[in-house]
Amino acid sequence: MSVDVQTALRSPKSYELARTALEVMEAHQVWPTVRNFELWVHYVAEKESPLAQEIDRLLAAGEAITETMGEALAAQFLPEAKLNGDILEAGDVLSKELQSVTAAIGAAQRSSEEYGQELAIASGRLTEDDANTVKSVVEDLTVATRKVQGENAVLEGQLAETTAELGRLRESLDQVRRDAMTDGLTNLANRKAFDEGLEHACEIADAAGEGMTLAIIDIDHFKGFNDAWGHQIGDQVLRYVASVIGRMGAHPRMAARYGGEEFAIIFPTEHGRTAKAVLEEIREEVSSRSLKRRSTNEDLGTITVSAGYAERIAGEGAMSLVERADAALYASKHAGRNRTTAAQPMAAVAAA
């Protein structure tokens, strides 16, 4: 947060500022996540800031400040969010550089060993009769080489320690990246990870000449359920559905929280019929369980999910694939919910 906002949050006005931010979030039906809270604290504290002006513009245009839009606003206007992205990029670069340095060290070590071996062989082949002087020079070089090898052994030990430490650093950076690509509530991949994963899956599919399928899943009537039982129970429902989707969408598939109560599964190299079978299994398992409030064991009833899936054609872009899967999801919603629908083929979409 900026210095002004940080100062405000450390003053007697901090509670008023926090309450105002939460009230505005509730008025605009914005989820009270950590990122959203930070965003809206900036909004109410700095009404003339570029962030506040952009939010006012979106609200005036009738736009809903969704979780995805909130992340985009944070990345653009909040310095901490941008810094996290910079850290991830720096971590990737550092990881590649460390691999390159480690390889160079290994190559240098092998060259030194080979040099010493060659000198030793040359010294053994020369005899006193034909090359006393040359042999003396070679022996001197051999001694010098052994000295260098001894010094290299010490250096190798130091480099081994350094390499181990760099390896630990790389693991830490990898963990930071995993955390930044994971949804905190459900432990599934987050929207950023999904976007990258889908682009990569499309590239792999084209390179290998194989198909792939994308599915989008939505919890039916979640807003009403959330309003009736509160956000804590809503979060419990999200975690339950995510656990089912995560198990069915485990590697090499990719399960992600797409946004709010929507989830997605990428099925690399798998056709629509396989995806449909998995989605039906998810739908049946979710609806088969009667949920209960953990604190009181009160019966909360059952929930259902709707799903749509699209089988990708060669060369189709990620955005087009998402649009077709999303359209299939809404077809399931309009047909009565609690069902799975296949997307229309590309030709049918273009003609519509």
CA 105 to chain centroid, in Å, comes to 32
- The Cα-based distances of 69 to 18, 34, 141, 284 in angstroms read 21, 15, 69, 32
Residue 189: helix, strand or coil by DSSP? strand
Which amino acid is it at 195?
Answer: D
Report the amino acid identity of residue 201: A
Query: Could you tell me if 264 and 255 are in contact, meaning their C-beta atoms sit under 8 angstroms apart?
Result: yes
Give the C-alpha separation, 164 to 98, whole Å.
11
Q: How far apart are CA 278 and CA 179, in angstroms?
A: 27
Q: Which phi and psi angles does 167 have, rounded to 5°?
A: -65, -40
b/e sequence 232-254, b meaning 16+ C-beta within 10 Å? ebbebbbebbbebbbebbeeebb
Find where tokens 């792999």 sit. Answer: 204
Measured distance CA(8)–CA(198) in Å, rounded: 41
Measured CA angle at 349 (ends 346, 352), to 5 deg: 150
CA distance 299 to 285: 18
280: which residues sit within 8 A by CB, 6+ positions away?
340
For strands 340-342 and 305-311, give the pairing: parallel
- What is the C-alpha to C-alpha distance for residues 174 and 31, in angstroms, rounded to an integer? 29
Q: Annotated catalytic residue: which of 38, 261, 270, 311?
A: 261
**Residue 261 bears catalytic tag:** yes
342 three-class SS: strand
Catalytic site residues?
Answer: 261
